Amino acid sequence: MKLLAIIEHTLREGLARKTIIGFFVISSFFLVVAVLTAIFIPSTLELGNPQTGQETIDLMNNQEVIRQVQALLAGFINFAALLLSIFATASIIPNTLEKGSIDLLLSKPVSRNEILFGKFIGSLLIVILNVGYYIIGMWLIFGVRTGFWNTGFLAVTLSITFTFLVLYAPMMVIGISSRSSALTIIILYVFLFLISPILETREIIAQVASNDTVKHILDVLYYPLPKPDALGLVSRSLVMGETFDWMPIWTSALFALAMYVLAVFLFRKKDF
């Protein structure tokens, strides 16, 4: 019951700070756009071909075309969901550690582990409810309009949620250490938009540099760190019904596990 109370408090905090509402409004806007697109988009597309003349593509009954569209959409959702999720949840731990808030929590018969775990579950629910709402909505729109119910697209909810779980681990460590939501957001965005893309293109960088040492250094950094770009490709593979590389999943999971253990250790040792 104490854990449920902390989870509920976290969700209420998300509502009070309008993060859940903002998520919902943005998702609803894009769902309305998708509905209008589904209504007015033609069922067939005429393409000019110099060799065969006019070629008609049946957009609504061509599963390969539908998968390609869903794969592109999954890439956009993956990017936008992580961007919004980090922004929406980065302040939860720092706000919990503010003078007054943490004092009130610690004055109650609740352990520090329960506080941290409750905040973690609450943050996860904020993200999964919004991501699930949008993806299920898009899945229904695609299914009703085309008659193709691609469960791989529905499974993107799991891959995005897993990526968030991986990234939320260092967010907790930074939040506990610095008590700064701004610093948490900055560090995660720098990693997402700068460090991660560099590490994913490490082989190309090494070839351009013509230096094996550069590749070895980038490899040493790449394998222990989370791999959001590679996990984004997992979303595409799920939509396309293709096999995918498990290495980014288990290495990212190991990183997250280590960060969560560190977060618990720091929180238990923190002097409030």
pLDDT digits (tens, 9 = 90+) for 124-148: 999 999 999 999 999 999 999 888 8
Is 85 a domain residue? yes
Q: Which of 164, 130, 100 is nearest to 11 (CA)?
A: 130
- CA end-to-end distance (rounded Å), the chain: 24
Q: Which of 137, 142, 159, 162 is nearest to 236 (CA)?
A: 159
Q: Is 179 left (phi over 0), alpha (psi -120 to 50) or beta?
A: left
Whether the predicted model's global pTM rises above the 0.85 cut: yes
> Does pLDDT of 98 surpass 90?
no
Mean pLDDT of 34-51: 72
Predicted confidence at residue 96, as pLDDT, reads 86
Dist CA 222 CA 176 (whole Å): 25
The boundaries of the domain holding residue 173 are: 2-29+60-269
- 13: amino acid identity, one letter: E
Is 39 a domain residue? no
C-beta of residue 232 within 8 angstroms of C-beta of residue 78: yes
* C-alpha radius of gyration, the chain, whole number: 22
At 178-230, the pLDDT tens digits run: 999 999 999 999 999 999 998 888 878 777 777 677 778 888 888 999 999 99
C-beta of residue 141 within 8 angstroms of C-beta of residue 31: yes
- pLDDT confidence band for 111 (50 / 70 / 90): confident
> Does pLDDT of 271 surpass 60?
yes
Higher pLDDT pick, 92 / 62:
92
Predicted confidence at residue 137, as pLDDT, reads 95
Q: Which residue has the tokens 């919990």?
A: 96
C-beta of residue 251 within 8 angstroms of C-beta of residue 227: yes
The DSSP annotation for 223-271 comes to TTS--HHHHHHHHHHHHHT----SHHHHHHHHHHHHHHHHHHHHHHH--
> Does pLDDT of 53 surpass 60?
no
Is 45 a domain residue? no
Predicted confidence at residue 6, as pLDDT, reads 86
- pLDDT confidence band for 258 (50 / 70 / 90): very high
SS3 50: coil
- 172: amino acid identity, one letter: M
> Does pLDDT of 81 surpass 60?
yes
Is 37 a domain residue? no
Is 35 a domain residue? no
Is 49 a domain residue? no
Is 135 a domain residue? yes
Predicted confidence at residue 255, as pLDDT, reads 96
Predicted confidence at residue 231, as pLDDT, reads 92
Mean pLDDT of 174-178: 93
Residue 241 CB neighbours (<10 A):
11
Count: domains in the chain: 1
At 114-126, the pLDDT tens digits run: 889 999 999 999 9
SS3 86: helix
Is 250 a domain residue? yes
- pLDDT confidence band for 272 (50 / 70 / 90): low
